Structure 1
Amino acid sequence: MAMQPWFSEAKFGIFLHWGIYAVDGVQESWSFFEGDVPHDRYMAQLGGFTAARYQPREWAALFARAGARYAVLTSRHHDGVALWDTAHGDLDVVRRTPAGRDLVGPYADALREHGLRVGLYYSHSDWNHPDYASLRHEGRPGWARFNPYAEAHEGQEDPAAWDRYLAYRDGQVGELARRFRPDLLWFDGEWERTEEQWRIRELAGLIRAELPECVLNARMLGEGDYATPEQGVPIDAPDGPWELCLTVNDSWGHRHHDDNHKSTTQLVRYLAETIGAGGNLLLAVGPREDGTLPAEQVERLEGIGAWIAAHSEAVYGTVAGLPPGHHYGPSTRSADARTLYLTLFDIPRGPVGVRGLRTPVRRVSVLGTGAELGHRVTGGLHEVPGVLWIDPPPAADLDAHATVLAVELDGELDLYRGAGRS
């Protein structure tokens, strides 16, 4: 299946880790897996998960104001707790928590009402399922210490139990596909088994029989459509479509004492660097157990949205900009290759230089204010172009987070990438 163009055009999405772990504010799933929290205490959080103030339309409206074009919700993390009324197993918020209702359907409906694409996260692994720890990773024997939640003791594998587990997983994924018809399925947990053990090809066939245009992330291994680096813009961008998964503070889900929120300026920088390298930013926020988002996270989303609104021309409808070395900062370019958008994170102390630009420049302006800037070319010899120098924007035209210059070209972008005269 060809990659769906909406994904690379979206640029910005919201990642929502929401589950019973928000009750005590512990790490999602890993807290009992790694022994930080006793398993019975972790599961006791079922009794405190209320979703009492869950307003998915408010979520969707906020995400739209933030400039996001899609969102991804954890329909079921590694702890196995489903956010919908699944017919496969009984570990879901409908039967086992005070929330008592499906939380996925209203989310999907609200996103669509606001023109956003619907993404659902689902973990291949389930550390609470009685049949899950029935196999070992064939490709990496002894890759991790034995953990009763993840794998069987050596020599105690149970292939029949593993078949039952895969039937359960396929049943739940089928429910998500048929009932909520997501535009994107974001898988996780793939490291615990091989592609063959997961039967990835069969799972992809099940999904695409129901949703031929559904986008799948790379944690569907050989069937994935795009890469998912985490928590840092890659120095070398992955080949093909990709998405940076980044937390707004230090946690994926809600942690009561995690106040280490990145500033709006830092988040705008992550966004500019990511889209400048051809990726999307998937920014994670953590709802409380009642469904509300912390004020600090709402503030960050509103701030990002205001910046995108003033610079949308440099965000949507663009592709990766100049390779490193041409401009000291990220950039994007228009789809017709006739406009460059240069991002300035700092206040320029002098003219802004662009190297290797063969195409003549018609006009340079500050995006968001329209202020026109003088520009000239100095130097150059034979096939090696001179340096384009752009006058620094006046203080009144500088953005509080990142200033963007629109460089309109007299033709399609043509860059010199050589080493000069030998």
Structure 2
Amino acid sequence: MRLLLATLLLSLSLTATAQTTYTPAPENLAARKAFQDDKFGLFIHWGVYSLLGDGEWVMNNRQIPVKDYEKLPAFFNPIDFNAKEWVSMAKNAGMKYITITSKHHDGFAIYDSKVSDYDIMDRTPYKKDVLKLLADECRAQGIKLFFYHSHLDWHHPDYFPRGKTGNHTGRPESGNFDNYLKYMDTQLTELLTNYGPIGGIWFDGWWDQAKDELNKSTRDTKVDWQLRRTYDLIHKLQPACLIGNNHHVAPFEGEDFQMFERDLPGQNTFGYNTGEISQLPLETCETMNGAWGFNIKDTNYKSAKALVHYLVKAAGHNANFLLNVGPMPNGKIQPEFVKALSEVGQWTQQNGETIYGTRGGPVSARNWGITTAKDNRVFVHILDWSDRQLTLPALPGKIRSAKLFADKSPVKVIQSTEGVVLTMSNAPSANTIDTIIELEMTSETAKK
């Protein structure tokens, strides 16, 4: 494994000298389109931090030293973990891919890493490779698998200089950052050679080394992350593997999709995201309550209606929706999450055609809702409206027909150069999650 990595890194360093522009392989471009078509994925934050029931940042937030945190793996024995249950739950909810934390900021790997013994096989009584079990089941059920991998590491001694977080772990104030990057690339090589085709790598933690805390859009860091070297390694191992980085700035060379944390593209209510929206495929991620990892005190559960609305709005913003669960330390997913996802699945089974394979529609977000589009059809998603009549701005192309998606009943249309007036037989019910009007256009409509 180390010889393979050394050979790859030498090849990539020579290539990087001569090549400055990333050109996606044909299979990568095809994977990007398929990713945009998929629209809905399951995010999973799970690791030894789940034992403490206080989220995935517990090591940093409670300032737990490495020597004490290292005691946790001995208690991590998720005997109730069932890969088939997890994947079936995601599939029944209408999700097309799963993104799981292979290594979070605490540095603990939930797979069988050969470059370190700080992993689930060597340090826990469970001694099973969770990612192998999940990868096998995802292939069996036709679900794509992505790996979240943290750039940041609160455990590794060579993660130095220290960034903004993890500064109370008791590590010596020294280290070789280039050695840490080689360690990270070795783990990525393991993930991309031992688990079959991987849909993508979801990076996080680059922001830990940002130079300017006040300027959130800065692309400068205290260290050279060697992003291009790592990205080229990934694309060399699996050309179709998509790379995204939750760095909160505009995409870097070599990235294949852009993500937005807890906000729709262009929005920044949480203060994480750049306002710059690239031409890459887009994704937004959000949690089912307020936490990413298991938090026993967080009961602020989002309703199925709220989750569907987020999915619809994401699609209308031309983005995927990656919805997170934080499984319990025993390997089970909270019943509140399972119930909500089941209810979301009932909606996607009936209305998924208006989401999957679509792009953002010709009418951008309004107070009443949003539109999606596919070929010559526009889907008007009415999320918050109590009138029979709805007025849209002018649309490109002529409307051939209009009908309610649910029962195919006709909707009256008045179209002019000033706009479009849609009149339904009845006003949307307050209990309806989403009233959808399907417009058939004379030709493929312009999309965002």
TM category, shorter = 0.7 to 0.9
The verdict on how the C-alpha distance between 1:362 and 1:323 changes in structure 2, with shifts beyond 3 A counting, is closer
1:9 alignment counterpart: 37
The verdict on how the C-alpha distance between 1:171 and 1:150 changes in structure 2, with shifts beyond 3 A counting, is farther
1:198 alignment counterpart: 225
Q: Give 2:105's match in structure 1, choosing from 78, 87, 91.
A: 78
Contact 2:102 2:110 in 1 (8 A): yes
Q: Deviations over 1:384-408 (max 9, x none)?
A: x033222225369887311111011
Q: Give 2:202's match in structure 1, choosing from 186, 190, 194.
A: 186
Q: Deviations over 1:30-81 (max 9, x none)?
A: 3222335565554433222112011111111111111111110101111111
Counterpart amino acid of 2:208?
E
After the TM superposition, which of the residue ranges 213-222 and 392-401 deviates more from structure 2? 392-401
The verdict on how the C-alpha distance between 1:205 and 1:261 changes in structure 2, with shifts beyond 3 A counting, is same
Contact 2:89 2:342 in 1 (8 A): yes
Secondary structure at the aligned position of 1:266 is classed as helix
Deviation at 1:167, TM superposition (A): 2.2
* TM-score, normalised by the number of residues in structure 2: 0.81
Contact 1:327 1:353 in 2 (8 A): no
The number of equivalent residue pairs is: 394
Secondary structure at the aligned position of 2:258 is classed as coil
Tell whether 2:180 aligns with 1:165: yes
Among the aligned pairs, what percent are the same residue?
29
Tell whether 2:334 aligns with 1:294: yes
The verdict on how the C-alpha distance between 1:148 and 1:222 changes in structure 2, with shifts beyond 3 A counting, is farther
Tell whether 2:125 aligns with 1:98: yes
Deviation at 1:234, TM superposition (A): 3.3
CA distance in 1, matches of 2:398, 2:439: 10
Contact 1:246 1:284 in 2 (8 A): yes
Tell whether 2:201 aligns with 1:147: no
Tell whether 2:268 aligns with 1:238: no
CA distance in 1, matches of 2:333, 2:170: 32
Tell whether 2:433 aligns with 1:405: no
1:355 alignment counterpart: 393
Q: Give 2:403's match in structure 1, choosing from 365, 389, 393.
A: 365
* TM-score, normalised by the number of residues in structure 1: 0.86
The gaps in structure 2 that reach 5 residues or longer are 1-23, 210-220, 268-275
What are the within-5 Å matches in structure 2 for residues 225-304 of structure 1? 225-235=256-266, 238-240=277-279, 241-304=281-344
The verdict on how the C-alpha distance between 1:152 and 1:188 changes in structure 2, with shifts beyond 3 A counting, is farther
The gaps in structure 1 that reach 5 residues or longer are 138-143, 416-422
CA distance in 2, matches of 1:105, 1:413: 43
CA distance in 1, matches of 2:63, 2:96: 36
Q: Give 1:344's match in structure 2, choosing from 374, 382, 400.
A: 382
Counterpart amino acid of 2:303?
S
Counterpart amino acid of 1:320?
G
Q: Give 1:224's match in structure 2, choosing from 255, 264, 273.
A: 255
Counterpart amino acid of 1:339?
R
Deviation at 1:187, TM superposition (A): 1.0
Secondary structure at the aligned position of 2:235 is classed as helix
Secondary structure at the aligned position of 2:294 is classed as coil
The verdict on how the C-alpha distance between 1:393 and 1:259 changes in structure 2, with shifts beyond 3 A counting, is farther
After the TM superposition, which of the residue ranges 245-254 and 352-361 deviates more from structure 2? 352-361
CA distance in 2, matches of 1:101, 1:325: 46
Deviation at 1:109, TM superposition (A): 1.1
What are the within-5 Å matches in structure 2 for residues 325-340 of structure 1? 328-334=368-374, 336=375, 338-340=376-378
Tell whether 2:242 aligns with 1:215: yes
Contact 1:62 1:301 in 2 (8 A): yes
1:65 alignment counterpart: 92
CA distance in 1, matches of 2:147, 2:413: 47
CA distance in 1, matches of 2:165, 2:446: 54
1:314 alignment counterpart: 354
Deviation at 1:173, TM superposition (A): 0.8
1:127 alignment counterpart: 154
Deviation at 1:274, TM superposition (A): 0.6
CA distance in 2, matches of 1:295, 1:146: 32
- Provide the aligned C-alpha RMSD in A: 2.6
What are the within-5 Å matches in structure 2 for residues 41-56 of structure 1? 42-56=69-83
Secondary structure at the aligned position of 1:13 is classed as strand
| Greater Cα radius of gyration, structure 1 or 2 | 1
1:141 alignment counterpart: none
Tell whether 2:54 aligns with 1:26: yes
The verdict on how the C-alpha distance between 1:127 and 1:150 changes in structure 2, with shifts beyond 3 A counting, is farther
